[in-house]
Structure 1
Amino acid sequence: MATQDSTGHDRKMIAISSGKGGVGKSTVTANIAVAMAEAGLRVGIVDADIYGPSIPGMLGIAADAKPAMTPDQKVVPSEAFGVKVISMAMLSPDDEPAILRGPMVGKYLRMFVQQVDWGALDVLLLDLPPGTGDIQLTLAQAFPLTGAVVVSTPQDVSLKIARRGLRMMEQVNVPILGVVENMSGFTCPSCGEVTHIFHQGGGERIAEDIGVPFLGSVPLDPDVVESGDAGTPLVTAAPDSPAAAAYRQIAETLSGGKITTRGISTPFIWTLTDGSGKPDPSAPTPGGAANLLVALDQSDIGFALTWADGHEQHLTPLDLRLACCCAACRDEITGADLLDASSVPLDIGLTRIWSIGNYALGLAFSDGHSTGIYTFKALREIQGTELEDV
């Protein structure tokens, strides 16, 4: 799925993630971004690791390079090697920690994507912190990500944690674009013999097990560390090295193919009172996913939801209101209903519907309730009227 930037230009928004730290995720991000830029693409990086930003240093951006503001109060990103960058490292002194609670982290992430003067971009890479926590969930909910790339080393422990990261992205309907195996074998600079220090082929096996593409292996190279510390990515500092070739191949794969989820057009905010903002539909496809929403429309009884596998589901606003799973309507621990069904008006209506990432809808009702998150999986399971393909 490609989103549009402020200029109306289609761009891919790709998250680079890892299950654990120390696997070289930021190094992979910096190098594939520069490789894309060298291939002629317009590329940006959001350094989404708020607590441990490292992208500016890897691209040689000075720690005191404070961003300027445009007349319309947008942040001007720094630029190096043809790549635009925004990072927390540009907003605070180099040795000052970012002491922020979750809501403030979310605020900065939204600012980095929405309030930066990116201009026309082909690809915006989001360098995520390791793990499956608040930052990953915030980005998945707030922005329609084209997909995610998971970086791992060949070690069994790293691969097991990477699998959790893959499953987390799947649960929020972020397409997995592929797995990168970093630090895959060490090539002796003297004799050329390859030594597989951390085992061999683990990244390819986990990609095959889960059914996602394997994007490639990046070998260990001392020049990766030296070039990163010097602020010059390896694809520029040692363009003929095996690692640089691997980075360029991964960049070509990510930027060259057409990536689409075939889902409903997002982001959107559909106001039912005047009909504005209604999302553009997609068509069901043979073998489509059961929990991927491709169309949303009003019907005689309420709303018709069409899923990628061709099923059409009809739900009333009352069905949807009674199925709310927010903390005010259902106990988060026991799952017991807290909502008194008799208190909900039979003629309740919907006033707004909006997208939450690629995996859920937000609904506002005429009784003022608007705090529920309706995942596509939960919507599909609501007992309404289902019509088979015709």
Structure 2
Amino acid sequence: MSDCNSCPSNNGCSKDKKSCMIENNPLNNVKKIIGVMSGKGGVGKSSISVLIAKQLKQLGYKVGVLDADITGPSVPRLLGLKGKKTRGNGKEIMPVETSNGIKVMSLNFLMENEDDPVIWRGPIISGAVKQFWTDVLWGELDYLVIDMPPGTGDVALTVMQSIPISGVVMISVPQDLVAMIVSKAVKMVRQMHINVLGVIENMSYITCPDCNKKIKLFSGENTEEFLNKMSLKLLGELPMLSSVSSLSECEHEGISKEVETIIKPIVTNIIKDLEE
């Protein structure tokens, strides 16, 4: 354990300094940590985590991705790292790197077969997530993006208690049920004294190929009403795009121009909020 002064993310942490005791690796210097959360699975949280990391890298930052979704790790595939394995030096675990230098840690790098189920109880899963922070040699990073597990259970709580998160980005889709579940996640994060940076609405619309009109896919709760009710900022809307849904099939590690046009201003807003 250590105090705030020795924490590698002291300057970017939004937690209660009096009560927060963070375990850390003194060899790491992670300046800002972005949690990407939804409260519900299947809304594109992992894909958006990867898009944020890729855009940060394209902007010239040193970036890492921690896949905290232990029972459903998908980050390796989304970053083109299928079949890769991590290694250790006897003390620390070395993250796997993409060819353009994004450092990644996921349970799939430790599994013999990536499709083997993780049949672990909550405390073991929570312990693995903590080790991904304390035992992985992240080194110097400007941003660490954490792909959070769905829900508001043990693992999400462990991440927020054990890692000095600078801010959380919520992922939602325009449906009443999802909005309700995201509301629970927002309240959880705020109770942990962590800043909610805003909401990215995924699968928000499709664009008509003939007239370029935006067509809403869901007739759920009004987004503006939901944001006002929860005092949240809309960081941006992502349409249904084949270049996002087929992200794991892309051979290149950059972002298509179509996606970059949408994700770049979102990431720019996140950076601005974290620096304020």
* TM-score greater than 0.5 by the shorter chain: yes
Q: Which residue of 2 aligns with 1:133?
A: 153
Q: Which residue of 2 aligns with 1:346?
A: none
Instruction: Tell whether the 8 Å contact from 1:16 to 1:151 is kept in structure 2 after alignment.
Output: yes
Q: TM-score, normalised by structure 2?
A: 0.85
Determine the C-alpha separation between the residues in 2 that align with 1:255 and 1:13. 11
Q: Which residue of 1 aligns with 2:92?
A: 74
Instruction: Tell whether the 8 Å contact from 1:43 to 1:124 is kept in structure 2 after alignment.
Output: yes
1:73-99 CA-to-partner distances (Å, cap 9, x unmatched) read: 211111224321100111111121111
Which protein has the larger Cα radius of gyration, Structure 1 or Structure 2? 1
The count of aligned residue pairs is: 254
Determine the C-alpha separation between the residues in 1 that align with 2:246 and 2:211. 21
1:267-298 CA-to-partner distances (Å, cap 9, x unmatched) read: xxxxxxxxxxxxxxxxxxxxxxxxxxxxxxxx
Q: Which residue of 2 aligns with 1:58?
A: 78
Determine the C-alpha separation between the residues in 2 that align with 1:40 and 1:201. 38
Q: What is the identity, as a one-letter code, of the residue corresponding to 1:79?
A: E
Higher mean C-alpha deviation, range 183-192 or range 84-93:
183-192
Whether 1:163 aligns to 2:183 is yes
1:134: how far off?
Answer: 0.8
Q: Which residue of 2 aligns with 1:282?
A: none
C-alpha RMSD of the superposition: 2.1
- Among residues 125, 128, 152, which one is paired with 1:108 in the alignment? 128
Which consecutive unaligned segments of at least 5 residues does structure 1 have? 261-390
Determine the C-alpha separation between the residues in 1 that align with 2:233 and 2:25. 27
Sequence identity percentage: 33
Q: Which residue of 2 aligns with 1:209?
A: 229
Whether 1:191 aligns to 2:211 is yes
Q: TM-score, normalised by structure 1?
A: 0.61
Instruction: Tell whether the 8 Å contact from 1:15 to 1:126 is kept in structure 2 after alignment.
Output: yes
Which consecutive unaligned segments of at least 5 residues does structure 2 have? 1-10, 14-23
Determine the C-alpha separation between the residues in 1 that align with 2:25 and 2:241. 36
1:323-355 CA-to-partner distances (Å, cap 9, x unmatched) read: xxxxxxxxxxxxxxxxxxxxxxxxxxxxxxxxx
1:42: how far off?
Answer: 0.8
1:108-166 CA-to-partner distances (Å, cap 9, x unmatched) read: 11111111111100111110111111111111111222121110001121111111111
Greater helix share, structure number: 2
The DSSP-based 3-state class of the residue aligned with 2:203 is: strand
Whether 1:2 aligns to 2:12 is yes
Q: What is the identity, as a one-letter code, of the residue corresponding to 1:83?
A: I
Higher mean C-alpha deviation, range 249-258 or range 178-187:
249-258
Q: What is the identity, as a one-letter code, of the residue corresponding to 2:177?
A: V
Q: What is the identity, as a one-letter code, of the residue corresponding to 2:86?
A: P
Determine the C-alpha separation between the residues in 2 that align with 1:77 and 1:168. 29
Determine the C-alpha separation between the residues in 1 that align with 2:214 and 2:73. 32
Q: What is the identity, as a one-letter code, of the residue corresponding to 1:148?
A: V
Q: Which residue of 1 aligns with 2:264?
A: 248
Determine the C-alpha separation between the residues in 1 that align with 2:252 and 2:97. 13
Q: Which residue of 2 aligns with 1:123?
A: 143
The DSSP-based 3-state class of the residue aligned with 1:99 is: coil
Determine the C-alpha separation between the residues in 1 that align with 2:181 and 2:220. 17
Cα distance change, pair 83–57 in 1 and its aligned pair in 2 (3 A): same
Greater strand share, structure number: 1
Q: Which residue of 1 aligns with 2:18?
A: none
The DSSP-based 3-state class of the residue aligned with 2:94 is: coil
Equivalent residues in 2 for 1:1-390, closer than 5 Å: 2=12, 6-7=26-27, 9=29, 11-63=31-83, 65-70=84-89, 73-80=91-98, 81-92=100-111, 93-199=113-219, 202-230=222-250, 232=252, 236-239=254-257, 241=258, 243-259=259-275
Cα distance change, pair 203–120 in 1 and its aligned pair in 2 (3 A): farther
Higher mean C-alpha deviation, range 219-228 or range 147-156:
219-228
Q: What is the identity, as a one-letter code, of the residue corresponding to 1:246?
A: I
Determine the C-alpha separation between the residues in 1 that align with 2:85 and 2:110. 6
